[in-house]
Amino acid sequence: MAKTAQEKLDEKAEKQYAKMHVKKIKMKPGDIVFSIINYTFFAIFTFICIFPFYYLFINTISDNDLVRKGLINFVPRGIHFDNYIRLLAVNDLFTSVFVTLARTIIGTALMVGASAFVGYLVTRKEMWGRSFWYRFLVVTMYFNAGIIPWYLNMSMLGLTNHFAAYIVPAIIAPYNIILVKTYIESAIPAELEESAELDGASHLRIFGSIVWPLSKPILATIAIFGAVGQWNSFQDSLILMQSAPKLYTLQHRLYIYLNTTSNLSALMSAGNTSGISKSVLESALNGKVIKYTISMVTIIPILLVYPFMQRYFEKGIMLGAVKG
């Protein structure tokens, strides 16, 4: 696989930085001050970006009593994993995890397959009405009817309170189709397809044996973005599954849990504790740990795929800058 222009540029920049490093340009005092400020700023910003995740994590694995007293702030103490085990007992949570996993896997697979196939089809110039249909598809990125007509439409189609609502509308992703199309046009030589055609290969065959294997890098990119999008989606569960709590996604479930807690703690901060019994308060405080743990469970998959994602997202965002 030839390196993309982006990768080459990256390398070039890297080398230049390395060269400058070796040369040890004489630092002026102004430069030193600038560097210190610059490094400090980025160190602080990065810290702000990662610390909350760390804080959340150490609070879920530390001794619950210490957490309740608010003593776990920087270092975990009394490490245990009971909280995670305790989550197994929460029934709703398990269904939500299952639903979310299912939609992530099925939805992403369908979306990637469809994007690859449609991306290939729209590169075929001989298709009847190609440019019109391509525009018909792409234009949908720039307008939408609004949330209420969307909801009414979904309920008209019988997709409310139905699992299919999570995956069927997600099959068509115009932006991803553009990405695949651009990739095929730029990275796969047209001669390959032509010669296969001369040898009598059908369109499906060309797609299956040439286009699909050769466009894997871009497919991996859209797969990862698609999967993260599916995992994170919350709005469709909130609006469409109003009377099917079994189909709530993990994000929706987490939203509900967080809200119950924030209401309880809000009452407490006002000092208005007289009306509430002590046990309710205690369970609310213990609830805090449980809520942290659920948040952590929701975040972990993202953090796990993140290293893989990183390889791809620069490519993705750069290709996106190229218009379809």
Partner 1 sequence: MVNEKKADRLYYLYRILAALLFVILFLPAANPARVCGLVNRSTSLLTSGFSYGTLIANFGRAFRKGWVLESTMHVLNISSLLCCLGIFGCAAGACLSLGNHRCRRLGNLISIIGSAVSVMTMIGMHIAYTQVAATKKPKKVEPSFPEGFWPVLAFLVLMLVISIIMQLLNGKKVKDEKFYMESKYKLFLMFLPFILLTFVFCYLPLWGWRYAFFDYKAGDILSARNFVGFKWFEELVRNKTTMDDMVRVMENTLAMSGLGIATSWCPMAFAIFLSEIKHTRFRRFVQTFTTIPNFISWVLVFAIAFCIFSTDGFLSSIMVNLGIWSQGQNLLMSGSHVWLKMLLWGMWKGLGWSAIIYIAGISGIDQQLYEAATVDGAGRFQRMWHVTVPGLMPTFYVLLLMSVAGILTNGMDQYLVFKNSSNTAQIMVLDLYVYNMGIVKGAIPLSTVVGMLKSVISVILLFGANGISKLLRGETIV
CA triple 90-96-101, angle to 5 deg: 130
Three-state DSSP string of 213-229: HHCHHHHHHHHHHHHHH
2 or 49, CB closer to partner 1?
49
Decide if residue 291 touches partner 1 (CB under 8 A): yes
Q: Is 29 in the site for partner 1 (CB under 8 A)?
A: no
By C-beta, is 178 or 215 nearer to partner 1? 178
Our finding on whether 32 is near partner 1 (CB under 8 A) is no
Pick the binder of partner 1 from 90, 102, 137, 201 (CB under 8 A): 137
The one-letter code for the residue type at 184 is I
Tell me, by CB under 8 A, how many residues bind partner 1.
Answer: 108
Q: Which two tokens stand for residue 111?
A: 């979306």
Mutual orientation of helices 130-138 and 174-187 as an angle, nearest 10°?
A: 130
Site for partner 1 in 151-180 (CB under 8 A): 151-153, 155-158, 162, 168-169, 171-172
Retrieve residue 240's tokens.
């469409």
Contact set for partner 1, span 211-270 (CB under 8 A):
228, 231-235, 238-239, 251-252, 254-255, 258, 261-262, 265-266, 268-269
Binding to partner 1 in span 60-89, by CB under 8 A: 68-71, 73
Q: Out of 33, 40, 42, 98, which residue is the one contacting partner 1 (CB under 8 A)?
A: 42
**Shortest Å, Cβ 67 to partner 1:** 9
Q: Which helix (H) or strand (E) holds 51?
A: helix 29-61
Closest to 153 measured CA to CA, from 259, 40, 31, 239: 239
Task: Please enumerate in sequence order all residues whose Cβ is within 8 A of that of 78, keeping only pairs 6 or more positions apart, or say none.
Answer: 62, 63, 66
Rounded to a whole number of angstroms, the minimum distance from the CB of residue 315 to partner 1 is 10
Return the amino acid letter for 41. F
